[in-house]
Amino acid sequence: GAVVSQHPSWVICKSGTSVKIECRSLDFQATTMFWYRQFPKQSLMLMATSNEGSKATYEQGVEKDKFLINHASLTLSTLTVTSAHPEDSSFYICSAKRQGVGMNTEAFFGQGTRLTVV
Amino acid sequence: RKEVEQDPGPFNVPEGATVAFNCTYSNSASQSFFWYRQDCRKEPKLLMSVYSSGNEDGRFTAQLNRASQYISLLIRDSKLSDSATYLCVVNCYGNNRLAFGKGNQVVVIP
């Protein structure tokens, strides 16, 4: 089946540094990928929609200059958390659907990245 | 009003019992509905899509009620391995954006 791979699975960084998270679709092309954030006991909250070859679309309240998204190819999207602060500590998950499929198809999720900012 | 609402629980269920829960959605234009399962500190995984006529997959039965804008999930003969959080996911017409509920946490007790 389709697989979405996310790396790293966990990272600890110091306040003020930047962290890059990669999301790859391994056996299908994805013109669109999605980045979510999940705090403990909360639902997944969509942060942004990553579009291959164009700018990402950010949800209201998500700072585009802080969460940089690059979708340079049909199989790779990256999320960079810049100048990280402890409140950015969370579980970040990406997802993708196969290109050109309908609405009822499954969205595949990466394994998630647990970010801890100290 | 939130796009998707679920009672987070937890739902403590004796092994072998049946448990059911609902999820309500606010956008009447919603077109696709899913139940995902999420284990602690893991990514969500598709449990089943929800079709208009209702559908069953083994011990799991999903129903959709468009008039009242809710979907339901029923788990029969609960197993210890069913302990997880079940996320209600709704897809609006015309885009690939998914809206997630908080999830129903199920704890199956021996």
What does the pLDDT look like over A11-41, one tens digit per residue?
999 999 999 999 999 988 888 899 999 998 8
Q: pLDDT-based confidence at A72, cuts 50/70/90? A: confident
For residues B45, B51, B55, B59, the Cα torsion angle rounded to the nearest 10 degrees is: 20
Share of chain A above pLDDT 70, in %: 92
Q: pLDDT-based confidence at A97, cuts 50/70/90? A: confident
Q: In this complex, which of A32, A43, A107 lies closest to B102 when CB atoms are compared?
A: A43
Q: In this complex, which of B8, B89, B96 lies closest to A97 when CB atoms are compared?
A: B96
Distance (Å, rounded) from C-alpha B29 to C-alpha A29? 28
Distance (Å, rounded) from C-alpha A57 to C-alpha A31? 13
Instruction: Tell me the chain B residues in contact with residue A42 when contact means C-beta distances shorter than 8 Å.
Output: 102
- How distant is the Cα of A105 from the closest Cα of chain B, in angstroms? 8
CA-nearest of B75, B68, B77, B63 to B15 is: B77
Distance (Å, rounded) from C-alpha B12 to C-alpha B1? 27
Q: Are B64 and B73 in contact (CB under 8 A)?
A: no
Q: Nearest-CA residue of chain B relative to A94?
A: B43
Q: Do B34 and A46 touch (CB under 8 A)?
A: no
Q: Do A103 and B91 touch (CB under 8 A)?
A: yes
Beta strand pairing call for A10-13 and A113-117: parallel
pLDDT over 80 at B75, yes or no: yes
